[in-house]
Structure 1
């Protein structure tokens, strides 16, 4: 690996001006020894010539010299540069001479004979102070520019005469005519939505009367220049006026609205996502409405992707969702539950006969051909239906019943639907069998960890891995984590399994380190484990027993689980950080993170969920979200790992954006420990680009 080249700080240049040869040469030798570049001049004329060529970082200037005096040279320098530090060297100790030096622009002075150690410290201090002053001026310029682009303006309302004075900044900001200056409050209120006018007028009256010290509100703001969204703060002034400061927050409001939409909706079809669907279902059940949950699956959808490619597969999903919209006429809530799975919530269900007729008509319409890549494509769907309260009185039960019914419909084939009934119960037999077997899986040593490598994009080296649990059952073979992890959580086995994962990951890290494989190893924590107050202590003992440094371990927590119980999560994170472990937020962007909590958690890594990566090359929305996440991470000094990278173009795009690491099938699928070690040694050893 090539040595990283770092830019060295420029050497600071000091100009020594003194007609005394011994003093001048001593200064040159002493300052050169301290690492400074030193120029010298024996009189004022030479000094001004040297300064004309290039201004030094600091000037040591003798006061008494033949020809032009040090005072005159100092004054001439200040005419050119007001900031460069000038230290006067003088044998004159009277106060008036020192005052004259400062009056001419000197920064400091040193009396002769020179105290050499003191002079060196004065030079360092002056250079440091000068650097701080330059930085301060730069910050002040940035702040000034920030205020200009903050899009702020104000108006003053005189309640006594009902007159408003509009600031020029506010008039320019919203392109308002100057003729409105001096008009009444109704002019301002007329630019607000009708539903907001009364409430805001009352708040302004309360500020004017002293009932409120200040009022803060947001509202839409319409002018001839367009529609805006503003944040306003009103407070009373000493002269009984009401000062209202308005800030145009249209961009951030729209960005927030976009993020909120992305949080609750699927980015491809713009239907609500699974999480929001559960919320809608919970709300409907809370109102004790009889409702139906319909789940729809496109049969053999993978063949579309295999035959036409992912782009055309996405096109089919969009066309499919548009047909669902047309079929429901906006009366039912639609959702994309994941992949090719859709959901419909029928609220206030009245007659099931009508529902059956509508389901038959729906499937017939959904089965009509779609045009993909210029040719007609026919599909079949499997539909499952559950009804409350007969099939469940909570969202999870109803959705589960609908899914079970859909499995029966899929086995029957031919675009049919199934309402949940006793014939679906047989599918629960597998669940019961899984639950029974899970209780003995740890003791039978049926679990194992696979490891997916994490690539540092800047160096093309594998520097980390994520441990992923697998259940290798002696009869069923490999059981999907998506099938058994929810059962583990429901059965309260997650603490035992979580401890096993942590211990096995630590043991594997110790084995790899003994073999010379040095990398960061991460494993996942369940939301339930945040309530385990002894987990951090157990992990500490595991690390000590294995001889593994906590700094080499990374704990991954999902965004949603952390926000479900931020208090417990924060306590756990603090304990883990105290050990030295790094913390990663998994599936970032799919939950509802509070940036305040993100800072308090002291997160080290943000993992971008694959839903924002799979369409990254074609979706400007996903690109914007990824860029925003990278910006958030940079502002909080966190690193970013992109998950689910499956194409070279995605990896290159992420590298160009400044993403730090990636993992996904393009690099490697999750591997058993031995295969992972071989793969990593081979990859890092050859340091060649990944295959196209």
Structure 2
């Protein structure tokens, strides 16, 4: 697969020039998009968001000046380089181009080497501009999260000036002081003397001022942190200030960085549970505490579509909205990803119906359009609620109950909420018991592999097997992976099991190769395994220790896994494929990914999901899908394996539609190793077994 340097849009009405530019720049490693007039160029730009635009000036339908102007209007930030191409070199054309938003101006006839240099510089400058904007955004966000604002004191006139957001930070002041003498009146007498002394020293010696001041309003004391320094050789002192009242209160108990979420500034799980424990200590029969777990659903889909930076901004918006909805004495925390937790205190006893109605109404403002990457999106939220003292007085258990209710809630619109019920306790305890049993099962290696054969339809020979894991639970028999795999992923133990599967499957393939050298071993990779930074090393080591031929090991990934972080997945799979491993994509066709994007993956095999095979003898649409997939794979040189084949008629249809291989109960169910060897022996002639 080719890694493009950047995507360029060439907007030129002359076919010969358009071909010249596209061919020449394509050879330099750029991905080229084309348009024949300004209107078409504008449409292509909006759809594909190229990294740079080469725009002719004189074109039919819409000229380059107008197209450039409209492109700039469609951008949130004018960062995309636009290079205007024209035979005119008069000053009016140049000025018009720059007024329309052009980055540079190149005259015809075009010197291709010179153009390539200009493109390289323009892309570099654009990336530098984006980096500067990101830095400024981070700084502005950091200043906002920290509650920082600015001040300036003219020592000759005693005038104090403040930044525009001062009123919101010093909300406890009736009015912001306009003179230094007025400011002193709001400060504790002991701090007045220190501040005056430090400012006087800064004025005469240029030293930096850094001080925390106590300000008292009625019965409340507030802490104000001020820093400042003389401005050059003037009689002015400039600086920043921050209301650190709440911050200092928290820092008396915990370290801020260890107890807060770095993205939103909210308390994290640890601080939330500590606060909840303190709140529960005050609960009695006359008041109540409620815990809500609320999740932004399918956040990873938005991240795939718009990127991490956009979803981070969205989480900040959601945080602000939630804070605005909650009572002042509530606590909002971010647990992870799109998961938030809320602690609510009630001065009276609460019932399930009260919480259901009150909290559903409270969350209604979340049901609105949200802006992400200049586009409006609607979000789905699910929430679960538990409450004390009726259900528990243990913080961790209350949070678990709320999360349990959230996971089990039935969708009912964009916002779904359920209150935890007593009958869910058994299920929760069963889940905790299952987690403990699985930890023991991994440690004691209670798992084993079974193998489902795969038949080549052209040769009628068994050419591969898919390794499938099973749990032999003592006293209960074999447990389906659909039961235990999700749990192992959640408790973080899928890595140990996945590594054992790799070693075991590679070892079995080597052991069988003495009698059946042409049998390929298919090994499934879990999405959680892709979070391991050393996954390629683990896979290579398993094959090397077993002495396996990597060409006979096929690594299977699901479509949803591939699209979770596609660029990272592509690089990882390319590295493995370079080592000789074959790559298969499983459950193909049931996800939501782009076919064009998906085919960028370095694949050897495409597995057609059983959902399309099940009704292939009755459903015309299923046959059409299978025919399209097999035709596509034939053109790309990929093997197709149809899963879930249970009847001879399904096999016949798949054979006629061009499928390469099949697997399913028609051929054989998954078999233990000894049964598989008997099956293989019966499937091969003595002569074939020796070859």
Instruction: With the length of structure 1 as denominator, give the TM-score of the two structures.
Output: 0.42
Larger Rg: 1
